[in-house]
Homo-oligomer: A and B are copies of this chain.
Amino acid sequence: MVKVRLSELVERFGGQLMGDPNIELFGIAPLISAQASHITFLSNSKLRSQAEQTQAAALILSASDNALLADMAYRGARVVTSNPYAYFARVAQFFLDQSTLPVKPGIHPSASVDPSANIASTATIGPHVTIEADVLVADRCVIDAGSFIGRGAVVGADTHFFANVTFHAACEIGQRGIIHSGAVIGSDGFGFANEGGVWIKIPQTGRVVIGNDVDIGANTSIDRGALEDTVIEDGVKLDNQIQIGHNCHIGAHTAMAGCVGVAGSAKIGKYCTFGGAAMVLGHLTIADHVHISSASMVSRSILEAGQYTGFYPLAKNAEWEKSAAIVRNLGVMREKIRSLEKIIKSFVK
């Protein structure tokens, strides 16, 4: 465990320090479980009462919460910042870096690396990795065990592939990327011409081109483009079990939760969010700052920012049976109302 002075953290990450700058800290923990050697954070104002009772030596909080809690029992140090949750993220990463064992650069003897591949001397290539011809792996990359990088692919500096990633030929990822285990980047898009009922494969000759600071979750797959490229812009965050079809374009800083599916050629804006298992049909356009709720199906383009939802509300099974039966026959209900309206109209006139 590495000790860090509070003043060092504030020098590094900013914020206004109130209290003893010489407090020594070992780590970060939630309000309730934090001990005397921890720094903690209040990012959700509903937890203010927990903040009053935390055992932590230092507390990260917003100016407004700091004002509201001016008189509270808590007597430790405070770090006032505009975004306590982001501050927490950075401090947590800092402590993690202190305790993480250094990775030894070099190529594991069991890896299979084509002589034409260009592997930075600061990169780490794990056991049973396969790297084909003309691949570029830049500085400080870590490619874990069993991963595959196809011919001519490019991996930007400081990018990390966890074990058993598949990154196909000619695809590119920028700097500081993370690809989790089981992810497949650059598989063929699902493109077929139908001739008398039989499917004829359309070759998929585009690439997947991924920007900087992109995270891709476990067992997620992103198809290569058909004639052009599939594009994932900077800062996109994809969770696990996601499917991105060929020729999609996902704008910068958009985030998708697990099990989302995006069909081919969809164009998705920047700063969007998608709840888990949301689905997007092919060839749609989605504007910037659109937020799709979980389990919702996007079947038309969305050109206006906002939150959109579409899932059937859960109910006890017996109640659902009833409501679903009516939904199936809503046309009948509408007709009844119309005929009632007609009758009443004849009365009223």
CB distance from A101 to the nearest CB of B (A): 8
**Pick the contact of A344 from B218, B311, B344 — CB < 8 Å?**
B344
- A263 CB-CB contact with B under 8 Å: yes
Number of copies: 3
**Among A47-55, A66-74, A117-125, A327-335, which stretch is in contact with chain B?**
A327-335
**Among A2-10, A15-23, A135-143, A232-240, which stretch is in contact with chain B?**
A232-240
Residues A315 and B308 in contact in the complex (CB < 8 Å), given A144-B148, A199-B237, A276-B279: yes
Q: Chain B: which residue is nearest A258 at the CB level?
A: B243
B340–A334 touching, CB < 8 Å: no
A314–B297 touching, CB < 8 Å: yes
How many angstroms between the C-alpha atoms of A74 and B215 in the bound complex?
Answer: 46
Residues of B within 8 A of A316 (CB): 306-309
Residues 283-300 of A at the B interface (beta carbon under 8 Å): 292-300
A194–B296 touching, CB < 8 Å: no
Q: Chain B: which residue is nearest A188 at the CB level?
A: B180
A259–B271 touching, CB < 8 Å: no
Residue in A130, A215, A307, A348 with the greatest tally of chain B CB atoms within 10 Å: A130
- A337 CB-CB contact with B under 8 Å: yes
How many angstroms between the C-alpha atoms of A327 and B94 in the bound complex?
Answer: 49
Residues A83 and B195 in contact in the complex (CB < 8 Å), given A297-B311, A299-B314: yes
- A343 CB-CB contact with B under 8 Å: yes
The size bracket of the interface on A is: 35 or more
Known A-B contacts: A148-B164, A187-B217, A340-B340. Give 13 more (CB < 8 A). Answer: A89-B193, A96-B205, A162-B168, A164-B184, A181-B187, A190-B239, A198-B253, A243-B259, A279-B294, A310-B320, A323-B328, A336-B337, A340-B344
Residues of A within 8 A of B (CB): 29-30, 33, 43, 83, 85-86, 88-90, 92-93, 96, 108, 110, 112, 126-128, 130, 144-146, 148, 150, 162-164, 166, 168, 178, 180-184, 187-188, 190, 192-195, 197-203, 205, 215, 217-221, 223, 227-228, 235, 237, 239-241, 243, 245, 253, 255, 257-259, 261, 263, 271, 275-277, 279, 281, 292-300, 306-317, 319-331, 333-334, 336-337, 340-341, 343-344, 347-348
4 nearest A-B pairs in the assembled complex, by CB-CB distance: A310-B314, A112-B127, A130-B145, A187-B218
